[in-house]
């Protein structure tokens, strides 16, 4: 299976960073707070679903909470395959960037 795309990689990293509290809203917040990207929740949920279908993520359902009006939320975790795909994609980017530090520096 190939490497995740740019948005997929961002979502995987956000899930990894949020660990136990990774669900659609927190994934979007993580990406928007750390990147220049603005995403709709629909885009985040479509990407989470695609990554789950690829076997990169697994979900579990949290118990309902009063704050959510008794609704449950789906929490996401990386699978071992997802963690390996994330590592591989980041390593590829680092190798591609190697030697271009001067060209990529901000003016």
Q: What are the structural domains of the chain? A: 6-95 (1.10.10.10)
**Tens digit of each residue's pLDDT (9 = 90 or more) over 6-34:** 999 999 999 999 988 999 999 999 999 99
Per-residue pLDDT at 3: 87
Output the six-digit token pair for 18.
């949020």
Listed as ranges, residues in the chain with pLDDT below 50 are none
Residue 76: phi and psi, rounded to 5, are -115, 145
Bridge partners of residue 74, in order along the sequence:
61
Instruction: Find the length of the chain.
Output: 107
pTM for this entry: 0.88
Q: Give the residue from 74, 97, 78 showing the smallest Cα distance to 8.
A: 78
Q: Say what the pLDDT of residue 1 is.
A: 67
């Amino acid at each position: 299976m190939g490497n995740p795309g740019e948005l997929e990689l961002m979502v995987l990293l956000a899930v990894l960073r949020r660990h136990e509290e990774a669900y659609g809203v927190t994934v979007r917040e993580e990406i928007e707070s750390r990147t220049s990207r603005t995403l709709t929740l629909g885009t985040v949920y479509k990407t989470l679903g695609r990554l789950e279908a690829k076997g990169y993520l697994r979900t579990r359902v949290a118990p309902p909470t009063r704050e959510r009006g008794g609704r449950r939320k789906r929490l996401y975790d990386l699978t071992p395959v997802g963690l390996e795909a994330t590592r591989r994609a980041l390593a590829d980017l680092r190798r591609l960037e190697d030697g271009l530090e001067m060209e990529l520096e901000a003016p």
